[in-house]
Chain A
Amino acid sequence: SAVISQKPSRDICQRGTSLTIQCQVDSQVTMMFWYRQQPGQSLTLIATANQGSEATYESGFVIDKFPISRPNLTFSTLTVSNMSPEDSSIYLCSVVPGLGSDTQYFGPGTRLTVL
């Protein structure tokens, strides 16, 4: 497995502002993902963070709203832009450690509240 940390762990933000969430892994990993978990809901994949290139977004998610960076094999950021109360969720990053691994491991999550 891998040790994954996220910053911040939680935040309360005003409508119209942006927040950048960081995901750091203690070892190089092949794949990184970002998920959203709305209150009382399951997890929905936002995008696959690709190292050195643009992220691959799922249907319903766009780069202007959720820009993602992945400058290397251990770090990624997700920005939630122009926030509204509907963006209040837990945001989780996950990783697949290596080419031979089938298992995703998740970070502790960032709990975002938008007022």
Chain B
Amino acid sequence: AQSVAQPEDQVNVAEGNPLTVKCTYSVSGNPYLFWYVQYPNRGLQFLLKYITGDNLVKGSYGFEAEFNKSQTSFHLKKPSALVSDSALYFCAVKGGFQKLVFGTGTRLLVSP
């Protein structure tokens, strides 16, 4: 069965510093991986995805993610964090019939 793990419940970073939110995956076959962000009292917003191709995927709001097959990881990154990036981030993998399996989520707190 497809699954993803987000080992950190919370990540704290100062504004202007680089940020990384970790995700590892377990799949049979080729992975289809996604990152979503959830701001307070709002639904999920799609950030980026990896299907195939370049291991570095660029997405919305300056975020990018690095796919690493040997480490089965898909970490979310941003070179310079903003206070407005503070939110809940979910990694997900596509299962059968377009279903998504989500990780437990990582809360990102960016301090001024």
A residues engaging B (CB < 8 A)?
A: 1, 4, 6, 31, 33, 41-45, 48, 56, 92, 94, 96, 102-109, 111
Contact = CB atoms under 8 A, between A and B. Distances in A.
Contacts of A6: 43
B97 A103 contact: no
Interface string B45-67: 11001010000000000000000
Contacts of B99: 33, 45, 48
B83 interface: no
B101 to A, nearest CB: 8
Given A4-B43, A104-B46, 7 more contacts: A6-B43, A33-B100, A42-B104, A102-B32, A106-B45, A107-B43, A109-B43
Interface string B30-43: 00101010000111
Contacts of A92: 43-44
Contact of A43 (B42, B45, B90): B90
A43 B44 contact: yes
A111 B44 contact: no
B102 interface: yes
A14 to B, nearest CB: 23
Given A42-B104, A42-B105, A43-B102, A105 B90 contact: no
Interface string B84-99: 0000001000100111
Nearest to A111: B41
A1 B103 CA distance: 23
